[in-house]
Every structure is written in structure tokens, then in C-alpha cells.
Structure 1
Amino acid sequence: MIIAISITLFFIILRFSVTLFNFISNPKLHRVGKQYTDRVSILIPARNEAGNILTLLQSIHEQEYENYEVIVLDDESADDTYAVCSAFAAKHSRFKVIKGSKLPDGWIGKNYACHQLAQQADGKYLLFLDADEEVKQGLINSAVHRMHLHQLGLLSLFTNQLMKTPGEWAVVPLMHFILLNLLPLRLIYLVKNASVAAASGQFMMFDAAVYHKNQWHKAVRSKVVEDVEIMRLVKAEAYNGEALLANGMISCRMYRSHNEAIAGFSKNFLAAFNYSIIGFLVYIVIIIGGPMIVIMTLNLPLLFFMFGLIILTRVMISLLSDQSPVKNIILHPLQMLNMLIIAVTSIQRYLTKTTVWKGRKI
């Protein structure tokens, strides 16, 4: 019991320290006044996104950066994605839509779509966005500035998450929670070792020359968590990579219900642990089981200490990610329960090979 409590408190203090480092270092993309004119190719893979993508396209059209092109790839959609995007492109000359080729064996659908998009682009920078996002003023110019400032091969942003239902609030904040109390984001750029890597496929900006030389999406063609794998490859090849928080300049509503969020997170969680079921279970036991053991001691000073660190951690992460601290503190137990559900679901689907996303078996 004493050993279990000691391990639990050690990891709570460690995660609090990582969160505090992130909070103090404030790893956000900052707006800049200097204006850039480099050509940016905005590349959007879209599969069954007819209900979402117009918001993104309109927001790109309304942003202030001038030298850009937008290419949307319809990835064998079963809905009206191609028609919706084509109608928009017909009225806006900087936008065009292409049909994706049939998915070859050995490829994940999104990776192949991104690979095809890159082949059509002519910008100095390639910016991959998901179809369910919305960009704000200053995003592209600030990102281009960051590419220049640090001579980056890859800049990735963790977007602000929009949540409108209780089910979304019970699951989606787990993304920033896990990220910001496990990894000091500033180290992704500062530490050149490829093992220190994180990225989000919701915003990936590449130096086009570096991308075309290395064919990053082709290199990770079969990887589910392709964003992190690409960041590792970028750093392994001695290019600079950086991952930051979006600072409100791009937002995304990842999922629209509790069940959809559980399914989506289950697809990625085990892959993020390199499919090590043991490693994944150890993490879950420490983060969920450990605090339960401390609670069973009924030791009030110990409980105040533990809950105090957890609450402070949730407040800092919520502020960094522009989320409600009050909601995340109140929903913390429910979010931890959902993390356990995601873990069980992820392992079950991996072992039975039944992971499916957007109609395709992964």
C-alpha cells in the first residue's frame, strides 16, 4: 500500500511539474505584425465532410493572408462532399477540388489523400488542415513567421477544441489533459532527439522543399498516428520541428456526441503508445487506479495534497487550451472514467482487428 501511494504521488507531482513548465513557458503561436508573402498551399483531405467543410472554406476565404491556394481532395466520399466543394470553388478562383485515387494496399486513407494533395501543390509551404476546422485572422501569417524564425521543416499546432454537448465535454478535454501534463511542448523544438516528439494532424505546415524530398506521408503510409510519426522522422533527419498551441487562431469540433468521441479517441490512444498494451495499461493504472488507492486511505492531509495538485493541474491546462477550468474540474472524475472506457475499447478493437474509421477498416 505504501509503495503504491508513493508511486501515485510521485507521478502526480511529476505531471504537475510538467504542466507548470508548460504553463510558465506558454507554448503558443503568437500573432506577429510583420507581413509575409510566401506562397502557401492549403491542402484539405475530405471524406464524407459535406456537412462540415463549408465553414472551413469560407473562413479561409475571409482570412487576410493573400498568397495562397486551396486544394481539396475528395477521398471517395459517399456523400455530397465533392459537389459542395466544387460549387464553392466555382465562385472562388483560389480554390479547387480534385478526386482522390483508389486507396492502395498498405496505406491509411488520410495518409494517401495527403500524399496526393502534396503532388498537386506549388507553394513554398504546404499546410494540411482537417475539413472540420475553422481558421481565424492571423493564423497563416503567424505560422509562416514561425517557419522563418526557426527554419522549421514542420510546424504543428494543437487546435482549440469546440465542445457543445455534455458528452463532448466528458471526453474531448482528455486530449489536452494528456498532452500538457506528459510532455513539455517547448522541448520538441529545443531537444533535437527524435524521441521527443508530438504533433497534431489538424494543423501540419511543412517546408515544401523538405517535404517533397522526403515524401513524409509516403514514409508513414501505414501509420494510424501519422502526425507524431512524421515529427519523429523530421527530427531524425536533422530538420527542425516544433509543436505549439493554436492560441485561438484555429478551432475544431472533433466530435459531435459522446459515442463519436469515444470511437474517435479509441482509434488513436493505443497507437500513441506504439501499440504496447502493457505500457498503456500501466499508464491507465497509475493515472486512475493510483488516486483511488490514495482516496481509500481516508488520510485528509494526503487527500488535500493530491486533490490540490490535480485541481491546479486542471486549471493550468484549461487556461492553456482556452477551456473552462470549472467544467473540467467538475467533470474530472467522469473524464477519467471515459479514459478507462477508451482504454478498454481501444485494446479490444486492436486485438480483434475491428477498428473502423469513416467506413474503412484500420
Structure 2
Amino acid sequence: MSRPLRVLVRAGTALSAAGAVVATVNASTVPRLGGRAATTEPVTVCIPARDEADTAPRLIADLRAQRGVADLRVLVLDDDSTDGTGAAVRDAIDGDPRFVLHRRDGDPPPGWVGKPAACARLAELSADRSGVLVFLDADVRLAPDALAASVDELRTSGADLLCPWPFQTAVTAAERALQPLLCWSWFATAPVPVANRSTRPSMAVACGQFLVFDARAYRAVGGHHAVADSVVEDLELARVLRRSGRRTVVAAAGGLARCRMYDGPAQARAGHGRWLWTAFGSPAGASAVLAAALTAYLVPPLAAAFGRGSVRRWGLAGYGCAVASRLLARRTESGGTLTARDGVDALAHPLSVIGLVALTVDSHLRHRRGGHSWKDRRLAGSDA
């Protein structure tokens, strides 16, 4: 093997090893939600729901079963659904006075993406409430102590936004290849002890499935009005808070919260594709990051398979580091357990990275053509 190729293999292994080191640090230091807690603060849960007739009633049932939250209000916005979401939610509420269902008809206002618009409306409807403001996606599932534990962690950390990271349930082959990368992507690159103490916007970690705000801080920075046209409103809102000098923190919540984002490859492509074009700042930035990812996570396993001598040994080391970082992220995300399927998926990590590269390229191409939409709505932020 030529010297440039040997250098490439060693560079890839070094990058993969660095990711494994960061993942090892995070596995022992990331905050974890768990245990019984209680709060007397007002807690307002906001759920934007568009065509969620199958998922929203399950979340409503989980919220009705929450314990340790003395003053709970839940606001659900049926966002112009066409599948009977409103009726399904009303049946699930079953007269519980803590729950209120609202309806919004038509598309979001000009310049707004649908989800930020729905969240902003819910926040307006909760303007009479102080305390803690929680935003939940309708496909999240919660254990009975999830809300109380989240409020406790928010207040213990002294942050203005807590991002409890749900366990990403993956069923189909496409989901198993892609969904664990959501956690792994920051788990192997961002040292959480540093990121959680920092107010640097570039170190923010957020997952819009489950966001827990100090209500006063949320309103002080403009809430979702500040990210009206963003297709990654969760991350942008965390950055807005940090730019104002406020802290945001991420915590592993897999023992108390889980979410199946997408049902199959078509949804995974459309769902990830609507935002991946924003992930690395520009096409040039995306090219640089994807080149580094391929160097770190594709070159070493290829060297392990086809190289000889020291090249193969370097390749095996790099591949082993990649598998280790993937397993560490998945175990932490899940709440501390791994399955045989997780092991198989980790061994297939190079294929996951190839899939991520392909989706990112596809997302950029569709963005250039102005072709992004979600749930039959064209995304304002996808205009070329």
C-alpha cells in the first residue's frame, strides 16, 4: 500500500479513536434522569399535533399517569389535521380538567415553518402560567416520573433549558441504521461536561422531541418567535438562549422517555432530509465534515478487510474504536442496556455513515430544487 494510503488509514484511525475517547468521557459524566422526584411548580406541557391520531392518545395516557407534578396543565394543538387527531385526543383526555385541546386551521403564517408556529401558539395559550414550560412531540412516550425528574434536573442544573434525550426506538433496517446516529453524532464529538457548562452556541445540543424550559427565560428570548423560519428550531432556540448568556444542558433520559420518530425508510428519508442541509452550515462545510466522517469510519474498516500487516492492524483499531463509540452512545441513550441487535447495528456502523452521507447529499440537492416538505406542507426554510 502506498504511503499516502497508509497515512490516510492512520488519520482515519486517529479520528475514530478521538471519538471513542469523547464517548468514554460522556458515558461516565452525562447527567441521567431517573428516580422519584416531586415539584409544586406550575408545569405546562405543550404538544403540537398534526396528523397524530395514532400517537397522540398514547402520549396523553402517559401524561395522565404522571406523578410528582402537583400543578400540571397540558395544552394540545390539533394543527389542521386531516386524520381525526382532534377526536382521538378528545377521547384520550376523557374529561380530565388538566388537559385542553385547541385547533388551528390552515397553513402557518408567511415566513413560519409549521412546528415553530404551532409551538408559538401553544406558548401564547400558556402565557398566564409561570414555572416550567415543556414541549413534547406527539410520538414521545413517557414513564410516570419523566416530568417530575426533568423539572428536578432543570432546577438542580441551574440551566434555562434542559434537553432530556429520549431513547430513539428503531425497528426497520433503515431506522436501525440512522436513528442511533442522532445521539452518537454529539456523543462522540461534544464533551458533555464542557458543553453543559458552556454558553457557546456551537456547543449546544438539543432534541425537539422533549424540551424543558424555565418559562421566564423562554419568553425573555422571544420563544419560538425567534426561530420562526427554522427547520431545526430546537437547536436554534438553544443557541438563541446561549447567545443571551443563558445555559442549556443535555441529559440522557432513555430510562424515562422514548420516541419512534419515523416509520420506515420513506419517512426517514423525508424526515432527515428536511433538515440535514442545515447541519454543517454550508455545502462546503458539509463536504468537509462528510469527508472527515468517511475517513474516520469507512477507511479503517476497508483497511481491516483488504489491507495487510500494519495497515490491517491500524484498520482494525480504527474500526474497533468506531464500534465502541457507537455502543457507548447507544447504551447511555437506552438507560444502560444493550441488546444483541445493538451489537449487530454497531458492527454495521460504516453502512450507517454511508447512509448519512447519502441522505445529506440528497437533502442538499432537494434544497437546491426547493423540494422539501413535511406532512403535506412545504417548508418555508427550504426555499432555494
TM-score where L is the length of structure 2: 0.88
- Report the 3-state secondary structure (helix = DSSP H, G, I; strand = E; otherwise coil) of the residue aligned with 2:162: strand
Q: Distance in 1 between matches of 2:361 and 2:322?
A: 24
Q: What do the CA deviations read for 1:50-89 (whole angstroms, capped 9, x no partner)?
A: 1111110001111213320111001111210112112333
Count of aligned pairs between the two proteins: 360
2:25 to 21, 24, 29: 21
Pairwise CA distance, 1:117? 0.2
Q: What do the CA deviations read for 1:248-305 (whole angstroms, capped 9, x no partner)?
A: 211111111122112211222221222x111112222222245544415442221221
2:240 to 233, 240, 253: 233
Tell which deviates more after alignment, 56-65 or 295-304. 295-304
Tell which deviates more after alignment, 129-138 or 88-97. 88-97
Question: Which residue is equivalent to 2:213?
Answer: 206
% of aligned pairs identical? 26
User: What letter corresponds to residue 54 of structure 1 in structure 2?
Assistant: P
- Report the 3-state secondary structure (helix = DSSP H, G, I; strand = E; otherwise coil) of the residue aligned with 1:152: coil
User: What letter corresponds to residue 316 of structure 1 in structure 2?
Assistant: L
**1:312 corresponds to 2:324:** yes
User: Do the aligned partners of residues 34 and 73 (structure 1) sit closer, same or farther apart at CA in structure 2, a change above 3 Å counting?
Assistant: closer
User: Do the aligned partners of residues 333 and 213 (structure 1) sit closer, same or farther apart at CA in structure 2, a change above 3 Å counting?
Assistant: closer
Question: Which residue is equivalent to 2:42?
Answer: 39
User: Do the aligned partners of residues 267 and 228 (structure 1) sit closer, same or farther apart at CA in structure 2, a change above 3 Å counting?
Assistant: same
Q: Aligned runs of 1:11-90 on 2, under 5 Å?
A: 11-31=15-35, 33-64=36-67, 65-90=69-94
Q: Distance in 2 between matches of 1:340 and 1:6?
A: 21
Q: Distance in 1 between matches of 2:89 and 2:202?
A: 39
- Report the 3-state secondary structure (helix = DSSP H, G, I; strand = E; otherwise coil) of the residue aligned with 1:96: strand
**1:130 and 1:202 in contact (8 A); partners too:** yes
Ranges in structure 2 where 5+ consecutive residues have no aligned partner: 380-384
**1:108 corresponds to 2:150:** no
2:97 to 93, 112, 115: 93
Pairwise CA distance, 1:331? 2.9
Question: Which residue is equivalent to 1:154?
Answer: 161
**1:344 corresponds to 2:350:** no
- Report the 3-state secondary structure (helix = DSSP H, G, I; strand = E; otherwise coil) of the residue aligned with 1:201: coil
2:285 to 264, 273, 279: 279
User: What letter corresponds to residue 48 of structure 1 in structure 2?
Assistant: D
Pairwise CA distance, 1:189? 2.2
Runs of 4+ in 1 over 3 A off after TM superposition: 289-294
Q: Distance in 2 between matches of 1:35 and 1:7?
A: 49
User: What letter corresponds to residue 64 of structure 2 in structure 1?
Assistant: H
User: Do the aligned partners of residues 8 and 136 (structure 1) sit closer, same or farther apart at CA in structure 2, a change above 3 Å counting?
Assistant: same
Q: Distance in 2 between matches of 1:252 and 1:292?
A: 29
**1:68 and 1:123 in contact (8 A); partners too:** no
Question: Which residue is equivalent to 1:167?
Answer: 174
- Report the 3-state secondary structure (helix = DSSP H, G, I; strand = E; otherwise coil) of the residue aligned with 1:38: strand
**2:44 and 2:72 in contact (8 A); partners too:** yes
Q: Distance in 2 between matches of 1:302 and 1:214?
A: 49
Question: Which residue is equivalent to 2:250?
Answer: 243
**1:154 and 1:240 in contact (8 A); partners too:** yes
TM-score where L is the length of structure 1: 0.93
Question: Which residue is equivalent to 2:382?
Answer: none
User: What letter corresponds to residue 51 of structure 2 in structure 1?
Assistant: N
Ranges in structure 1 where 5+ consecutive residues have no aligned partner: none
User: What letter corresponds to residue 120 of structure 1 in structure 2?
Assistant: L
Pairwise CA distance, 1:47? 0.5
**1:160 and 1:250 in contact (8 A); partners too:** yes
